[in-house]
Structure 1
Amino acid sequence: MKYMLLVCGDDTADASGMAPVEPWVEELGAERGVRLHGHRLRLPADAVTVRVRDGEVLRTDGPFAETKEYVAGFDILDCATMEEAIEAAAKHPVATIGAMEIRAFWEDEDAEGEIRRLDAELTEALRERDLDRAMVCYAPDVEVFHPVSGMEQSGADALRKAQEEWFAALAGPADREVLDFRVRIDESVAFSHALVRLRAPLTDGTTLDSTTRVTTGYRAAGDRWRIVHQHMSVPSDAGSPPAGETRS
């Protein structure tokens, strides 16, 4: 479960003896994988408070409330329980001079399920050779290196053109079988790693039968996920495409 850790400083406290934060970040992040990411914030004096009253936007320089305690930064934690999150917060150096507020994320969204459904949509689009259905899965600024054209493509328009060439090489429906699919999600960004087997008849009379390792990057745009990057490693004897290392 994910927790927001609000790091609350105290402008009346003496921070001269506080331990550095870097070892905490190293232990909780790189070593244990509990800290997903976080950042320091500017001081309250640099804040801007915005209110809307009777349709008028009211701006006030400074924090929304005058208090000696303020949010100095934040960290996103991925912990099994609240007790684990409390343990992580207690190790933060600022806890010795300020306070750490822990708040759990709402768990009413199924991001992994949405990404898995997106991958299933690609499978169906390929089977039906439905280019429009496939393109809906990609972001407008997607970056690709397509196996058919052999050239780097940038943007959805370039990808569509390359996909048209790919679909034209198929003599019938393509079977896309996902043998392994693992997803890692961090807020609005996600990555998946998969083994994918493609089988399809080709217009030159041969048959494509290739197992590829696919790494895909996703970004949440509005209320849906879309693909922004895809890397595909293809064996050199796959028959099509001919290159030993290609990306799409």
Structure 2
Amino acid sequence: MQFICLIYNAEDNGPQPGTDEFGPYMQAYADYTQEVQDAGVMVGGEALQPIATATTVSVRDGKTELMDGPFAETKEQLGGYYILDCKDLDEALKYAAKIPDAKYGRVEVRPVMVFD
């Protein structure tokens, strides 16, 4: 069963580029990615560009409306994701807890609806 792990954090929370902590933080992501690849559960995953690059699109009464920034105005923003193929929710939660940003923000785990 596939699960998506949505990684939420405030952009200024946790280790920042240019600090001594940033290198080990990024290495933790490389190690985690290698772990889920080696376990054969990684389907995909990527980091996202900063929220300043986001554009939200909606269509109302046939008119396309664009808004700079993410849809939700919250402290924590979606920063990346992993899609994992796990035997069950418990296994997905075990892997989600190992995502480095779980220490600084939150990781939302949801089953992926697969259409045949």
Q: Is this a same-fold pair by TM over 0.5?
A: yes
2:33 paired residue number: 25
Q: Distance in 2 between matches of 1:35 and 1:9?
A: 22
- More strand, by proportion: 1
1:41 paired residue number: 48
Look up the equivalent residue of 1:8 and give its one-letter code. Answer: Y
Q: Distance in 1 between matches of 2:82 and 2:14?
A: 22
State the TM-score, normalizing by the size of structure 2.
0.85
SS in 2 for 1:58: strand
State the TM-score, normalizing by the size of structure 1.
0.41
1:53 paired residue number: 60
Q: Distance in 2 between matches of 1:12 and 1:40?
A: 15
Identity %: 36
User: Would the aligned equivalents of 1:8 and 1:99 in 2 still touch at CA under 8 Å?
Assistant: yes
Q: Distance in 2 between matches of 1:49 and 1:13?
A: 23
Q: Distance in 2 between matches of 1:57 and 1:4?
A: 29
SS in 2 for 1:106: coil
User: Would the aligned equivalents of 1:15 and 1:97 in 2 still touch at CA under 8 Å?
Assistant: no
Q: Distance in 2 between matches of 1:100 and 1:59?
A: 28
Root mean square deviation of aligned Cα: 1.5
CA-to-partner distance for each residue in 1:133-183, whole Å, 9 max, x for gaps? xxxxxxxxxxxxxxxxxxxxxxxxxxxxxxxxxxxxxxxxxxxxxxxxxxx
User: Would the aligned equivalents of 1:34 and 1:77 in 2 still touch at CA under 8 Å?
Assistant: yes
1:4 paired residue number: 4
User: Would the aligned equivalents of 1:12 and 1:68 in 2 still touch at CA under 8 Å?
Assistant: no
Between 1:72-81 and 1:15-24, the stretch displaced more is: 15-24
1:118 paired residue number: none
Query: Does 2:74 match 1:67?
Result: yes
Q: Distance in 2 between matches of 1:54 and 1:74?
A: 32
Instruction: Flag structure 1 segments of 5+ consecutive residues without an equivalent.
Output: 110-248
Q: Distance in 1 between matches of 2:103 and 2:87?
A: 24
**Structure 1 residue 48: deviation in Å?**
0.4
CA-to-partner distance for each residue in 1:170-217, whole Å, 9 max, x for gaps? xxxxxxxxxxxxxxxxxxxxxxxxxxxxxxxxxxxxxxxxxxxxxxxx
The structure that has the greater radius of gyration is 1
